Chains A and B, each alone.
Chain A
Amino acid sequence: MSNIKSVEIKNLSLVFETNDGPVHALNDIGLDISKGDFVSLIGPSGCGKTTLLRVIADLQEPSSGSILVNEKPAERARMERDYGYVFQSPALFPWRTISGNIGLPLEIMGFEKSDRIKRIKKNLELVNLLGFEKKFPWQLSGGMQQRASIARALSFDPELLLMDEPFGALDEIVRDHLNEQLLELWRKTEKTVIFVTHSIPEAVFLSTHIVVMSPRPGKIFDIIKSPLPSKRDLSIRETPEFLKIAQRVREGLRAGHSYDD
């Protein structure tokens, strides 16, 4: 926990103009994320959590309000490559090997070849994919591809990691395993992580802070600071503290009309 703010959002709104009228994807969002936090954005589909993540990444422009990433405007943070983004699907290039894929951002950012080789090896080790350098994406399972995608996002060592439902397409067993690995990785690298999910146990397990969002219009309903210790394993999911937090999240979702039709 530190006082440096990785992300500062004030009065942020985003309105989409559609044929059926304006859609208030985000309405008056206020959020501060400190360096080293692991923040989950949780809510039903359409609550704006992915949109918010994309605004932080400067992939989408807000209609009004202010946002600072690493104390700079979001656009400059993107141009200076301050964050790594992990998408819902691995989006690995099929014509490159795994090490070719992980080295791709490094090539674009102008790292020297020897540096690239070192970083690729280091990040493959971080996600337990050593030995798969020369394999092609189709030879890896979904979980392994997603791990490679995480290694790629970390290869240039950004301070901030933005993850958009990275484990959504995977089965629960793989997901549990990857959750543990991600937590381990976060503790080892001390990065700031913003993680979009719609799984309550995943959000509670991984985060230091849980941001509960509600739809129509997209807004933040509740921000929960997790009392759980930072060193956790999967068995913490059965403890009463865990269940209490999960309950608070669920109540927040219900009150925010996430369970309504």
Chain B
Amino acid sequence: MNKIISGSTLPILSVLIFIFAIWYVGTVLLNSPFQKDVYKRKGVDNYSYSQLIGDTMSQKRPVLPPPHQVMAELWNSTVNKKITSKRSLIYHAGITLSSTILGFIIGSLLGIILAIAIVYSRTCDKTLMPWIITSQTIPILAIAPMIIVVLSALGIQGLLPKAFISTYLSFFPVTISMVKGLRSPETIELDMMKTWNANGIETLFKLRLPSSIPFLFAGMKIGIAAALVGAIIGELPTGAVSGLGARMLQGSYYGQMVQIWSALFFASFIAALLVTIIDLIRLSTLKRFGQVN
């Protein structure tokens, strides 16, 4: 019992219970206007509160579906469907994941290269940094359609435009944290390399890059989540038919709120999974290089 109290299980559990409680209250509050309308049209006058509450939780097109309805839909779309079925959330997640991972890998490599350029060349630092930061202030929802349309006119469709948007969103955190990481060695360590007459390349590979590994992973954790968001956003402008974003879009076309919510939840779950995987890779890398104790 003490372990549960002093660990992180109890705090997280209590916050979760609190969130669910508010969610249920919200369900009742947001769905009851429609429900009352239904009663009126059916001529039902004397409904009890428990009847009202029960009915708000089982509407076909609720404003806010209750947790159990979302969970049921989630279960239905993942476990109860074949992976290859067009109704399977796992199938759609696979579509979104392919652009996410491709975009993330390109974005991370781009981030590392940009960071090296910025740290080693004052010209690059002064010219690139302002543009890099500006690039992220433009709302992605505005840029994404432009990118998709332009690339489509060039004949590039499907996976690549979405991966491009993932790259666009994920390179920035990696760049910023790598710049910090490459600049993290202390003066004493740089002096030491100087006493051995090490040149710039040797200092990069033997001091700066290893020092920046913790920073790289911190940037990648943010980057991969951003890449997933980018892939989903990339599915919205063109009315794609597959992918988690497409699923949410479809749900909004046909008023299927539960479908939207379940796709949303699944996307969040995938995001958490991806960040956890990066973290596990980080831990095993640090362990291998003697830095976990």
Contact = CB atoms under 8 A, between A and B. Distances in A.
A108 B291 contact: no
B192 A108 contact: no
Highest count of chain B CB atoms <10 Å: which of A81, A88, A96, A108: A108
Given A59-B191, A108-B202, A108-B206, A97 B196 contact: no
Contacts of B289: 94-96
B147 interface: no
B291 A95 contact: yes
B147 to A, nearest CB: 39
Nearest to A106: B196
B192 A85 contact: yes
A89 B188 contact: yes
Interface in B238-293: 289-291, 293
Nearest to A94: B291
A26 to B, nearest CB: 18
Interface in B99-145: none
A93 B198 contact: no
B71 interface: no
A104 B203 CA distance: 11
Given A97-B290, A108-B206, A138-B290, A91 B198 contact: no
A104 B206 contact: yes
Given A104-B206, A138-B293, A95 B213 contact: yes
B194 interface: yes
Nearest to B293: A138
Nearest to B192: A91
A72 to B, nearest CB: 13
Interface in B182-237: 186, 188-189, 191-198, 202, 206-207, 210, 213
A41 interface: no
Contacts of B291: 94-95, 136, 138
A109 B189 contact: no
A186 interface: no
Contact of B290 (A59, A79, A104, A136): A136
B191 A95 contact: no
Interface in A56-108: 57, 59, 78-81, 83-85, 87-89, 91, 93-97, 104-105, 107-108
A78 B196 CA distance: 7
Contacts of A95: 210, 213, 289-291
B290 A91 contact: no
Nearest to A134: B290
A78 B290 contact: no
A57 B195 contact: yes
A78 B193 CA distance: 11
A93 B293 contact: no
Contacts of A83: 195
A248 B192 CA distance: 35
A87 B196 contact: no
Contacts of A59: 191, 194-195
Given A93-B207, A95-B210, A95-B291, A81 B194 contact: no
A149 to B, nearest CB: 9
Contacts of B206: 104, 107-108
A109 to B, nearest CB: 7
Contacts of A89: 188
B199 to A, nearest CB: 9
Contacts of B188: 87-89, 91
B197 A78 contact: yes
Interface in A103-119: 104-105, 107-109
Interface in B173-187: 186
A187 B194 CA distance: 28
B192 A87 contact: yes
Nearest to B210: A95
A208 to B, nearest CB: 24
A79 to B, nearest CB: 5
B220 to A, nearest CB: 18
Contacts of B210: 93, 95
Nearest to B203: A108
A79 B197 contact: yes
A109 B195 CA distance: 11
Given A94-B291, A108-B206, A87 B191 contact: yes
A96 B213 CA distance: 13
Contacts of B196: 81, 104-105, 108-109
A78 B192 contact: no
Given A94-B290, A94-B291, A138-B290, 17 more contacts: A78-B194, A84-B195, A85-B195, A87-B191, A89-B188, A91-B192, A93-B210, A95-B210, A95-B289, A96-B290, A97-B290, A105-B196, A108-B193, A108-B196, A108-B197, A108-B202, A108-B206
Interface of B: 186, 188-189, 191-198, 202, 206-207, 210, 213, 289-291, 293
14 contacts: A57-B195, A83-B195, A85-B191, A87-B192, A89-B188, A91-B186, A93-B210, A96-B289, A97-B290, A104-B196, A108-B193, A108-B197, A108-B202, A138-B290
